Amino acid sequence: MESSLFLKGMLLGFSIAAPVGPIGLLCIQRTLANGWLYGFLSGLGTATADAAYGLIAAFGITAVSAFLISQQFLLHIIGGLFLLYLGYTTFRSLPADTVTTSSIKNNLSSSYSSAFFLTLTNPMTIMSFAAIFAGFGVQAGSTWRETYIQPAFIVGGVFLGSLLWWLLLCGTVTILRPRFHRTRLHWLNRLSGLVIGLFGLLSLATL
């Protein structure tokens, strides 16, 4: 039973991560511009946020989920503005060979934290997880196994499935990276920044 739930969670996590939106574009840009580790840490931040929302939905933490859903308008604004900020910084970012060594550590940590924060600004993910978990037949049960073990297996599967997608994406982009010389990377940064900023504008326009 638990192994089946874990596999379903993996499929769910992979499916949630796979559509290429602003975070996927950000991972591709960071992998091409700075290397595999930068893109993968961005994906890891997203997978962590997905797992956090999965925990909230799976364990029925209603107070937290209700608060986040009630604040979705504010979080929507924050997410849109943050996308605009990421678009601006991506547009102005330099290819890896012009980045100073002293900034590498900060860039690595910001790769993770920015993707994690951006994913958290979409609290409606909780409702999606809650609906899917109900479809899996995982609900608050009378036994310790039903209440904690089964949801934990699903959330673990969601995290691993999401992580597998980011490994696949960043690995594929890394193989193609040698084809992008410095001039192409410079224009890629600008194009990616414009598209990410457009995502931000569209997010704000749909309020």
On whether the CB atoms of residues 21 and 199 are closer than 8 A, the answer is: yes
pLDDT per position as a tens digit, 60-79? 665 665 666 667 777 778 77
Q: Residue 116: enclosing H or E segment and its boundaries?
A: helix 104-120
Comparing 73 with 170, the larger pLDDT belongs to: 170
pLDDT per position as a tens digit, 99-155? 444 445 557 788 898 889 888 887 666 666 666 666 655 555 555 555 567 777 888
Number of compact structural domains in the chain = 1
Q: What value, to the nearest 5°, has the Cα angle with vertex 109 and ends 108 and 112?
A: 95
Q: pLDDT value at position 100? A: 44
On whether the CB atoms of residues 135 and 16 are closer than 8 A, the answer is: no
Q: pLDDT value at position 121? A: 80
pLDDT at 96 over 50: yes
Residue 16 belongs to what domain range?
Answer: 2-205
